[in-house]
Amino acid sequence: MAGLRIFVTWPMEREARAILERVGSVETSPSEGELPAEALARAVERADALIPTGAHRVPPSVIAAAPGLRVIAVAAVGYNLVDVAAATARGILVTNTPGVLTETTADLAWALMLAVARRVVEADRFVRAGRWTGVTWSLLLGDDVQRSTLGIVGLGRIGKAVARRATGFGMRVVYHSRHPDPDAEGLGAVFRSKTDLLQEADFVILTVPLTPETRGLIGKTELALMKPSAYLINVARGPIVDEAALAAALRARQIAGAGLDVFEDEPRIHPDLLALDQVVLTPHIGSASRATRLAMATRAAENCVVALEGRRPPDLVNPDAWRGR
């Protein structure tokens, strides 16, 4: 075990790094930025394990460059930037870090919802620009969150955490998932078809994973179903929303506003969205609290160590790779 090599794509927290050093040597990238595929391929040529963040791409070329690679332990819930099929074909285990970022991401969903409804970012810019000369009756009027209808698309861990927070705001909660969820009744959430949810909700929050079925889930047709007074919040994955269609709907005042933490082609953002006041944009920071990022790094390290020790990691996302052993 002492000869094992582990490469981490960011300067990893020392507590998590100490877990890895129990089983091998650890090399970390000196910066947090995404490494080009060629540079990452060179970094993992002799590696037994790779720990990337959810924002770092691991294409087939990187996997092919590392003949000894045994595990890719993603420090994120989403692992869509890893070519899981290529890893599975090689018998490489892929893991993620579910659960540890649930509450933090739900907090950000609420922050976006409150910020866009109450025009917090617009108000901040207004004050900083020296435009505030006193309180007037209609200055920066927004919309109430309390006692409105919240529509949650995807009642998984994060969706349920969002629903729990709605209780304190006296909100009516409706949700849509592939199937009705037995936990929904305890959350006060009522199942709706996607169409009915979009038509009823004052706030639509997206918390579904990115899959072939959810890619482009919200486009021109779906936005047309929403109320002109409704808001769209996305803390899931960018490609779930057609950004061009969203920008067009916002320009036409077809919906009232949007709060987005994720984008179709990160870090690029559709330029029309950047020009709109009724959109709050954050740079994929759903899990960005100090405690949560440490928990994610620790969980990824633990998954990595378990895999290197020849045991099945708890957060395995490609069980076919394990069955092939």
Plot region of 4 (φ>0 → left; ψ -120 to 50 → alpha; else → beta): beta
- What digits encode the pLDDT tens for the residues 260-272? 999 999 999 999 9
Residues recognised as catalytic: 237, 266, 284
Of 58, 60, 40, 62, the residue nearest 95 (C-alpha): 58
Collapsing DSSP to helix, strand or coil, 224 comes out as helix
Over the chain, what is the mean pLDDT?
96
- Determine which helix (DSSP H) or strand (DSSP E) holds 71, and give its type and residue range: strand 71-73
Is the separation of the CB atoms in 307 and 49 below 8 Å? yes
- Region 233-260: mean pLDDT is 98
> Bridge-partner residues for 271, per DSSP?
none
- Region 275-297: mean pLDDT is 97
**What pLDDT does 3 receive?**
83
Is the separation of the CB atoms in 154 and 170 below 8 Å? no
Q: Report the DSSP pairing between strands 49-51 and 93-95.
A: unpaired
Q: How confident is the model at residue 2 (pLDDT cuts 50, 70, 90)?
A: low
- Region 195-203: mean pLDDT is 98
Of 85, 38, 97, the residue nearest 65 (C-alpha): 38
Neighbours of 189 (CB within 10 A): 26
- What digits encode the pLDDT tens for the residues 83-111? 999 999 999 999 999 999 999 999 999 99
Decide if pLDDT at 1 tops 70: no
